[in-house]
Amino acid sequence: MTPRLRSIDWVGDKVRFIDQTKLPNDLSLIETDDYKVVVEAIKKLKIRGAPAIGIAAGFGIYLGIKNFSGDDKELLKGKFEEVCSEFAKTRPTAVNLFWAIERMKKVFYESSHLGVDELKKRLLEEALAIQSEDIQMCKQIGLHGSKLIPDKANILTHCNTGWLATGDYGTALGVIYTAFEQGKKIKVYVDETRPLLQGARLTTWELMQRGIETILITDNMSAYLMKLGKIDCVIVGADRVTLNGDTANKIGTYNLAIVAKYHNIPFYVACPTSSIDFSIKTGDEIPIEERGGEEIVEIMGRRVAPEGVKTFSPAFDVTPNSLITAIITELGVIYPPFEENIQEIKRKIYAND
């Protein structure tokens, strides 16, 4: 049986990833052993989605020191830190990136008594562990989350949170896939997700491949659909969840949460615990990435606004905890009060450390 295609994978001694900017028109695979190619791929959203970015950083950091020769560990340390800081500068919001970098650093410094070759081997093992743990976490998220999906469900989702955005399966889309595999009748309304169209290009592509009924809408249609009674629940992913449950996710998520609340529709966030930033209390502390105006004045390379127009392009927004019904993680579903219940999850994770 041919192994299933993943958005990012380790093949031989290289990383292979799908260039997500080319989907759905071209399924283009890039193979590289140059960490700088991975750094650029994250910046340009060829690799995107919080968990996939974390996995890419793990493999990329290993690639950055893989060809280091000699046995001078001070030199190796300098190179390692330089590579880590290049990855840390790629995108600021998804905490999975920093979580993965910290894991790689922990292994590096805990293995510093080892020889260079052994140390490199440990780093590759850690990168592979980040990938395989993410896949397991997504499976668990699917199982926990599918219990919240009724038998006949009309679901609205935003951005892309499927196998393209993760090690495999996905988070919010993983919940949908699991519910569908359980035989539930599912219809998914997909926000196009301007400016970069992750919904229109990627989520529809994934869902239709699975044979799930998929309806593409523009981002400004959700309130009307809810008023018509067409939506039973909303499920989105997360780039960073704080200790009180505030959640950064793709720009437009906050609007969706407000309209869902107004219409009394459950609003679920699905994410692995690697997306929870246990070091900050509220969403006000989350750094929000701002991207170039060209992504707004153009749609897929075609200019749609007059030359010289001013733009503002935050890539994410923060949904306050009061608008979130529950957060679905691999360790179970977290309900309000989030302040208390996220502390409980933190205790579970650190007890296993």
Annotated catalytic sites, by residue?
239
Q: Binding to ligand MRU by residue 51, rule CB under 6 A?
A: yes
Q: What does residue 94 show for φ and ψ, rounded to 5 degrees? A: -65, 115
Amino acid at position 171, single letter: T
Contact call for residue 145 and ligand MRU (CB under 6 A): no
Q: Which pair of structure tokens corresponds to residue 154?
A: 């009309």
To the nearest whole angstrom, how small is the minimum distance from the Cβ of residue 82 to ligand MRU? Answer: 24
- Least Å distance, CB 184 to ligand MRU, is 21
Q: Residue 50 interacts with ligand MRU (CB under 6 A)?
A: yes
Candidate list 6, 9, 18, 49; residue touching ligand MRU; CB under 6 A: 49
Tokens 């052993």, residue?
33
**180-209 positions binding ligand MRU, by CB under 6 A:** 198
Name residues whose C-beta falls within 8 Å of residue 223's C-beta, 6 or more positions apart in sequence.
259, 262, 263
240 binds ligand MRU (CB under 6 A): no
Beta-bridge mates of residue 316: 250
93, two tokens = 């919001």
Residue type, 93: T
Name the maximum alpha-carbon separation found in the chain.
67
Q: Kindly tell me which of 65 and 171 has the beta carbon lying closer to ligand MRU.
A: 171
- C-alpha–C-alpha distance, residues 315 and 296, integer Å: 11
- Closer Cβ to ligand MRU, 80 or 275, answer by number: 275
Q: Which amino acid is at 13?
A: D
Number of residues that bind ligand MRU (CB under 6 A): 18
**Binding ligand MRU by CB under 6 A: which of 237, 245, 252, 283?**
237
Q: d(Cα 243, Cα 349) in Å, to the nearest integer? A: 14
Does residue 131 touch ligand MRU according to CB under 6 A? Answer: no
Provide the binding-site residues for ligand MRU, judged by CB under 6 A. Answer: 45, 48-51, 94, 159, 161, 165-166, 171, 198, 237-239, 249-250, 315
